[in-house]
A and B are shown apart, each in its own frame.
Chain A
Amino acid sequence: MRRREFLKTTGLAAGVAATGLESIVAARRAPAHAQGTRLHILRWVDFIPEADVELKRQAPEASKALGAEVVFEFINFNDLQPRITAAVQSGAGADIIMMLYNWPHLYASALVDVSDVAEPIGKAQKGYYDVFNVTSKVDGKWLAVPHGIVGNAIAYRRSWHTEIGVKEFPQTWDEWREVGRKLKAKGKPVGQALGHSAGDPPTFAYPLLWSFGGAEVDRTGKKVVINSKGAVEAVKFMQAFWKDACDEGGLAWDDTSNNRAFHSGEISATLNGASIYIVAKRQREKIRDEKGEPMVQDIEHAALLPKGPAGQFALYVPFQHSVMKYSKNMKLAKDFVKWLHQKENYERWFQVNEGYSVGSTKTWEEHPMWSRIDRPLQVFRQAARQSRMLGYPGPASAKATESYTKYIVVDMFAKAVQGMKAEDAVKWAEGELSKIYEG
């Protein structure tokens, strides 16, 4: 698609997205919200700091356009869920909250139906990625407006892999284990978080389970089927992979640990979003390899995670904005989300991300930015098409979120790599999952 065509499409999208805003624009003045009205938006602290800077920069513009003070608050990824619970129970807090994964299912009763905002945006921008139909829609209603999705890929050091004769990143789990074994022997292990952290551990553990044919539940989402040959094989593989190829400190890592370990040259490869590459690129003077060269020159991305006997899978992190039912500014909140998705506003945030967070609609795959950014980042262009969701192959229900929040699948692997027999670890997970899905 040429730039002109893209602008035409997104311009049309923005026009539709601006439903309700067109009158504001026509009137050439801010709508009459009560004086002193404040719109509070709660989001995570982005792994690309410039993305938060851009949103903060847009806040005064939004305030001016909407006639109310727009305030962003950014908190740690892992603290979002506790904040949501506190806000919902006390009936007070941010008007708009960023929801990750399929959280709208868990907090459904506290969220406003935003179908009138979400549908026009999706319709005008070539549709949302399938994963959002699963995460943001509950019982046919949009309870969140999809905003973006963080894809992930294996970031690896090209030169270290070349040194051991690897020209292309391994395609299967077994091949990766073999490559990792050689690199670990040289003090350059694979780094993978397997602790209690909301991002990296689940995005690794679930696809690994699926790729060996394992799953938490069946298609109905009611029957726990984890005690299967596939799951046991996945766990057995993980035990060997962990011992042979991984930095065993990963059991205590959070979502930032692998970024630090990679940038300091401690690990050869790790599953991550584009943040390792982007931060290395933006801090090229500071983040250097052992030869003193900017490390970014030596970073490559491979996606998806390797193939298992049952295929190749991905779990990305979709995020969306929900308007809270307790909010006194529901109309304003919806207007703000429309404003945020207007082409000129969304585009600036999208471009700052350079592929770390990609668009929630397919239109953004065609943005001219993709032809400008570095080749290793191109891998994220269509990444969002691939993602499965928690609970797969069953529905991404609140039960699936509960299992995720309790780290059952992650801990199944973590227990096994600490010495529990694979069969026992799977059985433990079966017991816990039964209480969640069948209890």
Chain B
Amino acid sequence: MKKPIAGGAGSVAGLEVALPHPRATQPQRLTRFLENERALAAILLAPTVLILGTFIAYPFIMGVWLSLSSTSVGNVGEFVGFKNFAKAWNDSIFRTAFGNTFYYTFWATIFKLTLGMWLALLLNRHFRGKRIVRASMLLPFIVPTVLSTFAWRWMFDPTFSVLNWLLYKGGLITTKLPFLSDGVYGMWCAITVNTWRGMPFFAITLLAGLQTINPDLHEAASLDGANGWKRFWHVTWPLLKPVTVVVVVFSVIQTFSDFQLIYVLTGGGPANSTHLLATYAYQVGVATGLLGEGAAISLFMLPVLFVVVWLQLRYLRRMEGA
């Protein structure tokens, strides 16, 4: 009896499998190629690079090019250097929008952080219906911004505001409050809506952070006589700081480049008093068709956001080192 050949079935068919086959060299070459770490890394990264290149790098480079050109709708522009940036800087509406963007981001972030933290601490306690409360709290974050902002716009409506009606009926006011028809009120209405919308993101993320804190630490602090504030300040806060930094940075980026909320709520009015960089860039670039100037206005956001991200990375690296 013939000894079966390894890999075969001990039959003629088995012999066929064992024989060298000209096609077998191709998979071998492919295997060798894939075993090369550099090649494999390149292949695996290619889709990501392609997506990032198409959807992030290309629009960004295009935006930079537009900002340096005189491109307007339907007209291929020519290189004009930093003219668009200079024009924007000398534009009083731009300066208003620039200041508004900082003001809006600063106060909205402060409120979102404070109220989000407070909410997270409350939700970290045990109470009846905790799950339902936690889930429902996410609603403002889930509802599309345009829809929820429309609802707010109705509530702030100069003529039909339900808030004014309630305040009037409650005897708290005698004349309507100019919610959206006064620049200062308008800005604070926008900050309120942004806080309402962004607070759940802070609360849920901070809540996740809170739940990673070992309860023994609080227990030990209590035994040492620390009161609620001391426990928060010396135990909770230091351990929650890394999460907080990440959340704040994300929020700053989103708030600084906010568009939808202002566009729907005030359209930048009255008299540009609520324009942000994003809404003004849109008005100049898209509505007016001055694409070069619009791109330059929006690129003013870049250095600010770059600094924010750099600080965050620096902080996180330091945390990792510690």
**Which residues of A are in contact with B by a Cβ distance under 8 Å?**
78, 81-82, 84-86, 88-89, 106-110, 194-197, 247-254, 257, 260-261, 264, 266, 401-402, 405-407, 411, 414-415, 418, 428, 431-432, 435, 439
**Which residues of B are in contact with A by a Cβ distance under 8 Å?**
73-75, 87, 90-93, 156-160, 176, 178-183, 186, 266-273, 282-291
Docked-complex contact B289 and A107, CB < 8 angstroms: yes
Choice from A109, A253, A418 contacting B158 with Cβ under 8 Å:
A253
Docked-complex contact B271 and A418, CB < 8 angstroms: yes
Assuming the contacts A85-B73, A89-B73, A252-B270, asked whether A405 and B158 have C-beta atoms less than 8 A apart, the reply is: no
Assuming the contacts A247-B159, A251-B181, asked whether A86 and B75 have C-beta atoms less than 8 A apart, the reply is: no
Docked-complex contact A406 and B158, CB < 8 angstroms: no
Docked-complex contact A109 and B283, CB < 8 angstroms: no
Docked-complex contact B159 and A435, CB < 8 angstroms: no
Question: What's the least CB distance linking B273 to chain A, in Å?
Answer: 8
Q: Which residues of B contact A194 (CB under 8 A)?
A: 270
**CA A414 – CA B269 in complex, angstroms?**
9
Question: 6 smallest A-B Cβ distances: which pairs?
Answer: A249-B158, A252-B180, A110-B74, A251-B181, A414-B271, A251-B270
**CA A266 – CA B164 in complex, angstroms?**
15
Assuming the contacts A196-B268, A405-B287, A435-B90, asked whether A257 and B158 have C-beta atoms less than 8 A apart, the reply is: yes
Q: Which residues of B contact A85 (CB under 8 A)?
A: 73, 285-287, 289, 291
Assuming the contacts A81-B287, A82-B286, A435-B87, asked whether A428 and B158 have C-beta atoms less than 8 A apart, the reply is: no
Docked-complex contact A405 and B283, CB < 8 angstroms: yes
**CA A196 – CA B179 in complex, angstroms?**
16
Assuming the contacts A88-B74, A418-B183, asked whether A197 and B267 have C-beta atoms less than 8 A apart, the reply is: yes
B91, B93, B181, B183: residue with the most chain A Cβ atoms closer than 10 Å: B181
Assuming the contacts A85-B73, A88-B73, A431-B92, asked whether A247 and B287 have C-beta atoms less than 8 A apart, the reply is: no
Q: Which residues of B contact A252 (CB under 8 A)?
A: 156-158, 178-181, 186, 266, 269-270
Q: Which residues of A contact B180 (CB under 8 A)?
A: 249, 251-252
Choice from A82, A254, A260 contacting B287 with Cβ under 8 Å:
A82
Docked-complex contact A106 and B289, CB < 8 angstroms: yes
Assuming the contacts A251-B181, A432-B91, asked whether A405 and B267 have C-beta atoms less than 8 A apart, the reply is: no
Docked-complex contact B92 and A110, CB < 8 angstroms: no
**CA A248 – CA B159 in complex, angstroms?**
10
A to B CB contacts below 8 Å, 9 in the list: A106-B289, A107-B73, A107-B74, A197-B267, A247-B159, A251-B180, A252-B178, A252-B179, A257-B159
**CA A89 – CA B73 in complex, angstroms?**
6
Docked-complex contact A406 and B92, CB < 8 angstroms: no
Q: Which residues of B contact A266 (CB under 8 A)?
A: 159
Q: Which residues of A contact B270 (CB under 8 A)?
A: 194-196, 251-252, 414, 418
Q: Which residues of B contact A109 (CB under 8 A)?
A: 74-75
Docked-complex contact B160 and A260, CB < 8 angstroms: yes
Question: What's the least CB distance linking A104 to chain B, in Å?
Answer: 11
Assuming the contacts A82-B287, A405-B283, asked whether A251 and B92 have C-beta atoms less than 8 A apart, the reply is: no
**CA A304 – CA B288 in complex, angstroms?**
29
Task: Name B's interface SS.
Answer: loop
Docked-complex contact B271 and A402, CB < 8 angstroms: no
**CA A249 – CA B73 in complex, angstroms?**
35
A85, A264, A405, A411: residue with the most chain B Cβ atoms closer than 10 Å: A85
Q: Which residues of A contact B271 (CB under 8 A)?
A: 251, 411, 414-415, 418
Assuming the contacts A107-B74, A110-B74, A196-B267, asked whether A251 and B289 have C-beta atoms less than 8 A apart, the reply is: no
Q: Which residues of B contact A197 (CB under 8 A)?
A: 267
Q: Which residues of A contact B273 (CB under 8 A)?
A: 418
**CA A431 – CA B93 in complex, angstroms?**
11
Q: Which residues of A contact B156 (CB under 8 A)?
A: 252
Choice from B75, B93, B158 contacting A247 with Cβ under 8 Å:
B158
**CA A411 – CA B287 in complex, angstroms?**
17
**CA A310 – CA B176 in complex, angstroms?**
36
Question: What's the least CB distance linking A152 to chain B, in Å?
Answer: 20
Assuming the contacts A257-B159, A402-B290, A418-B270, asked whether A251 and B283 have C-beta atoms less than 8 A apart, the reply is: no
Choice from B92, B178, B269, B283 contacting A249 with Cβ under 8 Å:
B178
Choice from B73, B182, B286 contacting A251 with Cβ under 8 Å:
B182
Q: Which residues of A contact B282 (CB under 8 A)?
A: 82
Docked-complex contact B289 and A81, CB < 8 angstroms: yes
Docked-complex contact A435 and B186, CB < 8 angstroms: no
**CA A266 – CA B270 in complex, angstroms?**
21
Closest residue on chain A to residue B275 by CB atoms: A196
Docked-complex contact A432 and B74, CB < 8 angstroms: no
Docked-complex contact A110 and B73, CB < 8 angstroms: yes
Closest residue on chain B to residue A87 by CB atoms: B73
Q: Which residues of A contact B289 (CB under 8 A)?
A: 81, 84-85, 88, 106-107
Docked-complex contact B272 and A411, CB < 8 angstroms: yes
Question: What's the least CB distance linking B189 to chain A, in Å?
Answer: 10
- Extra pairs beyond A411-B272, A431-B92, A432-B93 (5, CB < 8 Å): A81-B286, A106-B289, A252-B157, A257-B158, A418-B182
Closest residue on chain A to residue B90 by CB atoms: A435
Question: What's the least CB distance linking B291 to chain A, in Å?
Answer: 7
Q: Which residues of A contact B288 (CB under 8 A)?
A: 81, 106, 401-402, 405-406
B91, B157, B266, B271: residue with the most chain A Cβ atoms closer than 10 Å: B271
**CA A264 – CA B176 in complex, angstroms?**
17
